[in-house]
Amino acid sequence: MAVTITPSLRTALHLDAAASGAMALLAIGAAPILSPLLGLPQPLLFWAGIALLPWVALLLGVARRNTAPRLLLVDILGLNALWVAASIGLLASGLVAPTLLGYAFIVAQALAVAAFAVLQGLALRRSPATATA
């Protein structure tokens, strides 16, 4: 089943894309500077930034459409939830030793991603179904 990309859903997708794109550029371009400040490995920051690039492209591509498959939009919500869980899991795993600023950074970005998922979920719930995608 397809749903209409309403203005509120489009805005939620654009906000996620803008924040994810900014985070990608920051992580890729400033990994050597951020690594000692955050206490996070430079490759982790760099490759997390690289991983965000196709995510941004997906969000922008979906936001440009008039309709999208409901499952795709649910997948976007699920991937945001996985990012939040992975962020918190990283802190709990003991695999990294972040500084206090690093903890704050990871928690803040996880909360932001959770907020995007909530906005997208609320907008999706209000989006009418359509006959085609």
pLDDT in tens, 84-124: 999 999 999 999 999 999 999 999 999 999 999 999 999 99
Amino acid of residue 108: A
Amino acid of residue 61: G
7: domain range?
Answer: 2-130
Q: How confident is the model at residue 133 (pLDDT cuts 50, 70, 90)?
A: very low
pTM of whole model > 0.85? yes
- pLDDT of 132: 60
Give the β-pairing of 129-130 and 67-69.
unpaired
Is 115:20 a contact under the CB 8 Å cutoff? no
What is d(CA 100, CA 56) in angstroms, rounded to the nearest whole number? 28
Q: How confident is the model at residue 24 (pLDDT cuts 50, 70, 90)?
A: very high
- What digits encode the pLDDT tens for the residues 31-73? 999 999 999 999 999 999 999 999 999 999 999 999 999 999 9
Is 9:124 a contact under the CB 8 Å cutoff? yes
- Looking at the 3D structure of the chain, how many domains does it have? 1
